[in-house]
A and B are shown apart, each in its own frame.
Chain A
Amino acid sequence: MPVHVHVNVNQSDQHHDVEPRLLLVHYLRDVCGLTGTHVGCETSLCGSCTVLVDGKAVKSCTMFAVQADGSAVTTVEGLAKDGQLHPVQQGFWECHGLQCGFCTPGMMMASVALLAQTAKPSREQITEGLRGNLCRCTGYSHIIDAVNHAAAHGGVRLQPDSAQGVARG
């Protein structure tokens, strides 16, 4: 039996009837057409599917779309504003924080969440904040540089309204 969901995705209200078994990541990719969020495993370990739900980093492969009903979701597509890259995006670009780019959206969303909590993280805080995100290309050093770059350039900025869900009815 399909269930109605109302999700605010990147500040756009979405209403859909979905199968309960539809995972949030597939909802974002296949229903909302936002394919920047990726799937790299089945066991909540790779972190490629990381998005923000009500401002918190979560793995969208380990959440049903129905659980996000009434929430605000921010994906990688929602980071840049008015053609301006988010400081985390800028940091990843400046520091060569990506190679193949597949883990990058999840890695950046985890970084955004980290900087929202810890404006100037230590190396240890960065590696702990990225514990849930696997990268097989970069060896992480440039990713750590990227987060530091973002921290030094206003990376703390979380989208002002990304932490609030839609009104629940």
Chain B
Amino acid sequence: MADANTTPYVGRAMKRIEDPRLITGAGTYTDDLRLSGMVHAAILRSPHAHARIKKIDTAAARAIPGVVAVLTGADVNASCGFVPCAASMPDLKAPKHTVLAGDRVYFVGHAVAVAIASDPYVARDAIDAIDVDYDPLPVVANAEDAVKSGSPLTHPDLGTNVAYTHNVSGGGNIDEAFRKADRIVKHRLYHQRLTPMPIEPRGVVASYHAGEGALTLWTSTQIPHLIRTLLPGMIGVPENKMRIVAPEVGGGFGAKLNVYAEEALISHLAMRLHTPVKWIESRRDNASATIHGRDQIGEYEVAVKNDGTILGLKSKTIADLGSYLQLLTPAVPTLTGLVLTGCYKIPAVKMEIVGVYTHKMATDAYRGAGRPEATYLIERLMDVIAQELKIDRLELRLKHFPAPGDFPFPTSCGLVYDSGNYAAALTKAKQLANWDQLLKDRAAARAAGKLSGIGVSTYVEICAMGPSKAMPAGGWEWGCVRMEISAKVTVITGVSPHGQGQETTFAQIVADRIGVPIEDVVVMHGDTAVAHYGRDTYGSRGTAVGGTAIVMCIDKILTKAKILAAHLFETTVDHVVFEKGTFTSPGVTNRVITWPELAGEFYVAKNLPADLEPGLEASSFFEPQNFTFPFGTHIAVVDVDRDTGQVTITKYVAVDDCGPQINPLIVEGQVQGGIAHSIGQVLFEQTIYDEDGQLVTGEFMDYAIPRAHDIPDYILGSTVTPSPVNPLGVKGVGEAGTIGATPAIANAVMDALEPLGITHMNLPLTPEKVWQAIKSKN
């Protein structure tokens, strides 16, 4: 690196340390593993959304040369436990979720049988040769229908399609707020089902050492540590004989924040067959049997005064959970309830969330998880209110922002926002967008008969998950920093980055604080044999929580190093000065001690103070006292083609405040990537099941994700409001783009259509829907 010797590293747009292996094809993803004797599994999945399995005939499959075994639920379920859900709720009704179907299938893609063969081609031949006799049963494919009386039941044995009802209320008296209102603004919003579609599908390789009773599982996951916590209960291998490795992971976005049936099944097969087993998901299986996201329908009512003052917000949301609970399925809609009021002072809130079972794949955390839903609805509502009351939409927002002095700011939803300056971000975005000119351009375009719109969203989100009291399985993070005898620094983190770049950002932090060249720092992660404890990567927590654990380790190391330095200087610790990797003691001695000397002394250990342990290593658990709350303003400008309904984003400005930026290049990448997910969600992405529960969007042929030509040139900016929650002041930025952008783009399209009298459309705003809306007004 040309600029590697320039310190401080923190704050600089450094290129990534992880990249050389990835750009030369030398990264090891799960499918790249080749173990001696490894066999290959293929999974037969249900073509029916709901059916009874009358008979499974595996004889023909077993007869194929090269086939090792063909197994069904009857063969394996008793040994694999149940797929876990970590979220618990008072009245939650949950079906037992076995790794292969029992006598019924509950969604298209439900795993029915597994074939293991010498080669993946032969494994596929084998599942083709399995004959399953199904008796189709009535299907529940729509959540709103599912809650109606007389609906067929997703799981007849549960006696209801309602998994749970969750009520949120907070702040002042909601009934009074609605009594005092001049007007009630009502709106219905739909958050379509989305398929996360990481470009690397899931994959698992398991290897069992029978002599040691030890299992090693390589899996394309965001959460190796949570799997190590939960898998023992499924397959009976104790936690301390289980090693989980997340090798290079090709994208997650929440889809790999889960414990999946295949992780237990393939582990079991490796134990049962005494040989390593690999399973790699196809795209079709990824689309049908890896979690989906969103899928909420909400009715919203806002109590407002004629001057725009918002008095209260009520909502009723139906969340389509699919047929089973995955790790966080029921919890995701409740996150929506946590940030329902957005970045506004809304004094009273009441929300009811009904989680509903349908014969579809489970929904779970997908980029933003609950916050995009909340942000979209509050930001759409702000525009709707402004429009109904004929108030400027920016003024309406500004009027309800807490002032910088109001922080820490308690919300009606029960959170305390850590720090913020929402107006500053809005002001900066307006400047970058050249707001007044935008308005003029829009007026000119409209005068020329064009459909041109400007959309704004001001958002706040929840990051750095999070305090353990708010998380199902602990929200702390663990880290370890070791100065080796050679003065190289090994950093081990319990977060499990898969593209977020913490090998670089953590090295930047460590190199600065310890005072070593960044090339001397190695950051290790994603292997429970190396990083013994951790709570992994999700909820934009890596740097804010995991990075803080590393900072705590550094503090311990420096404290210990100063004790030895004082000993060598023959003085006391308070006379030791540490700066940029050197120890001095001005006024005591001219001697300068550098890390190579000090590290050597620690490990040679011949000249240590009596009460100082050899070695220079520290580990720490960091328990955050709160979430962090990044915020920002996004502005989108669109043109709508009247004839085709095609939306084109002509300008995009994003100002995000994630606190101090360790590496602005990486922050920029996270924001850009997040916005792309929103472009997809607003304009074309949608997971579609037909009325029979058939998945129609099971391939990239039918499920569109953004391509390069869908992306506008961005104007990106930032403001910096440090968080008081952690010593780095950082907030997190992995999901901000997705949370801020969806309403900005949607509001822009609706603004473009507003002159035609179109006030509401459901996402995604596809050309056909836009065209239909335009046509309906002609």
Q: Do chains A and B touch in the complex (CB under 8 A)?
A: yes
In the docked arrangement, what's the CA distance between A86 and B202, Å? Answer: 30
**What residues of chain A lie closer than 8 Å to B500, measured between beta carbons?**
99
A75 and B25 contact, CB distance less than 8 A = yes
Question: Is B56's beta carbon under 8 Å from chain A?
Answer: no
Does chain B have a CB within 8 A of A66?
Answer: no
> At the interface, yes or no: A136 with Cβ under 8 Å from chain B?
yes
Shortest Cβ distance from A6 into chain B, in angstroms? 22
Measured CA separation A126–B711 after assembly (Å): 12
B499 surroundings in chain A (CB, below 8 A):
98-101, 137
Q: Does any Cβ of A come within 8 Å of B659's Cβ?
A: no
Q: Does A154 contact B (CB under 8 A)?
A: no
Q: CB of B673 within 8 A of chain A? A: yes
Q: Which residues of B contact A45 (CB under 8 A)?
A: 699-701
Beyond A21-B121, A96-B15, is A127–B24 a contact (Cβ under 8 Å)? no
Residue of A nearest to B201 (CB): A40
Closest chain B residue to A19 by CB distance?
B121
Q: Interface 1/0s, chain A 97-117, versus B by CB < 8 A?
A: 011111111001000000000
Residue numbers in B under 8 Å from A80 (CB-CB): 24
Contact of A76 among B20, B25, B201 (CB under 8 A): B25
Chain A contacts for B92, CB-based, 8 A: none
How many pairs of A and B residues are in contact by the CB < 8 Å rule?
179
B residues 11-34 near A (Cβ < 8 Å) are 15-16, 18-20, 22-29, 31-32
Q: Are B669 and A34 in contact (CB under 8 A)?
A: no
Chain A's closest residue to B33 (CB) is A35
Whose C-beta in chain A lies nearest to the C-beta of B671? Answer: A139
Distance from A169 Cβ to chain B, minimum over Cβ atoms (Å): 28
Known: A42-B699, A136-B705. Contact between A77 and B199, CB under 8 A? no
Min CB–CB distance A26 → chain B (angstroms):
8
Interface size class, chain A: 35 or more
A134 within 8 A of B: yes
Residues B708 and A140 in contact, CB atoms below 8 Å apart = yes
Chain B interface SS verdict (over half):
loop
Q: Is B675 an interface residue (CB 8 A)?
A: yes
Q: Shortest beta-carbon distance, A20 to chain B, in Å? A: 11
Q: Is the CB of A102 within 8 A of B29?
A: yes
Known: A126-B708, A128-B709, A137-B251. A79 touches B24 (CB 8 A): yes
Q: Separation in Å of the B671 CB from the closest CB of chain A? A: 8
**Does any Cβ of B come within 8 Å of A64's Cβ?**
no
- Give residues 172-210 of B contacting A (CB, 8 Å): 196-201
Q: Is B235 interfacial (CB-CB < 8 Å)?
A: no
Contact partners of B20 in chain A: CB under 8 A: 93
Q: Which of B661-719 contact A (CB under 8 A)?
A: 665-666, 668-669, 672-677, 699-701, 705-709, 711, 713-714
Query: In the complex, which residue of chain A has the Cβ closest to the Cβ of B28?
Result: A35
In this complex, what residue of B is CB-closest to A39?
A: B31
Q: Which of B29, B32, B199, B284 contacts A136 (CB 8 A)?
A: B199
Q: B361 near A: Cβ within 8 Å?
A: no
Residues facing A in B489-522 (CB within 8 A) are 498-501
Is the Cβ of B701 less than 8 Å from the Cβ of A101?
A: no
Q: Does A152 contact B (CB under 8 A)?
A: no
A residues in contact with B498, CB < 8 Å: 100
Min CB–CB distance A27 → chain B (angstroms) = 12
**Does any Cβ of A come within 8 Å of B118's Cβ?**
no
Contact between B283 and A42, CB atoms less than 8 A apart? yes
Provide the residues of chain B in CB contact with A39, threshold 8 Å: 31
CA of A29 to CA of B668, assembled, Å: 33
**Across the interface, do A137 and B673 meet the contact criterion of CB distance under 8 Å?**
yes
Among A21, A37, A104, the one with the most B-chain Cβ atoms within 10 Å of its Cβ is A104
Which of B16, B24, B282, B708 makes the CB contact (< 8 A) with A89?
Answer: B24
Residues of B within 8 A of A40 (CB): 199-201, 250, 283
Assuming A42-B699, A135-B199, is B284 touching A89 (CB within 8 A)? no
Find chain B residues with CB under 8 A from A79 CB. Answer: 24
**B253 interfacial by beta-carbon distance below 8 Å:** yes
A153 contacts the other chain (CB 8 A): no
The CA of A52 and the CA of B583, in the complex, are separated in Å by 55
Instruction: Say yes or no: A134-B22 contact (C-beta < 8 A), given A42-B284, A96-B665, A100-B198.
Output: no
CA distance A94 to B665 in the complex (A): 10
Flag if A43 contacts B699 (CB, 8 Å): yes
Q: Is there contact, CB below 8 Å, between B23 and A144?
A: no
Q: How far is the CB of A53 from the nearest CB of chain B, in Å? A: 17
One of B23, B121, B713 near A104 (C-beta < 8 A)? B23
Q: A104 contacts which chain B residues (CB < 8 A)? A: 22-23
User: B residues within 8 A CB of A103?
Assistant: 199, 250
Question: A127 near B708 (CB under 8 angstroms)?
Answer: yes
Nearest neighbor of B700 in chain A, beta-carbon distance: A45
B250 touches A38 (CB 8 A): yes
B741 CB to nearest A CB, Å: 10
Check if A142 sits within 8 Å of B25, measured CB to CB. no
| Complex CA distance for A138 and B677, rounded to whole angstroms | 10
Do residues A98 and B700 form an inter-chain contact, with CB atoms below 8 A? no
Most buried by B among A38, A75, A123, A130: A38
Proximity string of chain A (1-39) to chain B, C-beta cutoff 8 Å, 1 when within and 0 when not: 000000000000000000101100000010000111111
Shortest C-beta distance, A127 to chain B (Å), equals 4
How far is A80 from B23 in the complex, measured between Cα atoms in Å?
Answer: 9
A68 vs B283: C-alpha distance when bound (angstroms): 25
Give chain A residues whose Cβ lies under 8 Å from the Cβ of B700. 41, 43, 45-46, 134
B670 to A, closest residue via Cβ: A99
What are 25 A-B contacts with C-beta separation under 8 Å?
Answer: A35-B31, A35-B32, A36-B27, A39-B31, A40-B199, A43-B283, A43-B700, A43-B701, A46-B283, A76-B25, A77-B25, A96-B666, A96-B668, A98-B22, A99-B501, A100-B200, A101-B23, A108-B23, A123-B713, A131-B708, A136-B676, A140-B672, A141-B711, A141-B714, A142-B668
Which of A's residues lie within 8 Å of B, judged by CB? 19, 21-22, 29, 34-43, 45-46, 48, 75-77, 79-80, 85, 89, 92-94, 96, 98-105, 108, 123-124, 126-128, 130-131, 133-144
B-to-A contact residues, CB < 8 Å: 15-16, 18-20, 22-29, 31-32, 121, 196-201, 248-253, 282-284, 498-501, 665-666, 668-669, 672-677, 699-701, 705-709, 711, 713-714, 737
Given contacts A41-B700, A99-B669, A139-B669, 12 further A-B contacts (CB under 8 A): A37-B25, A77-B25, A98-B23, A99-B251, A100-B250, A100-B498, A102-B200, A102-B250, A103-B199, A131-B708, A133-B707, A142-B668
7 tightest CB-CB pairs across the interface, nearest first? A36-B25, A102-B250, A101-B22, A99-B499, A139-B676, A100-B499, A139-B672
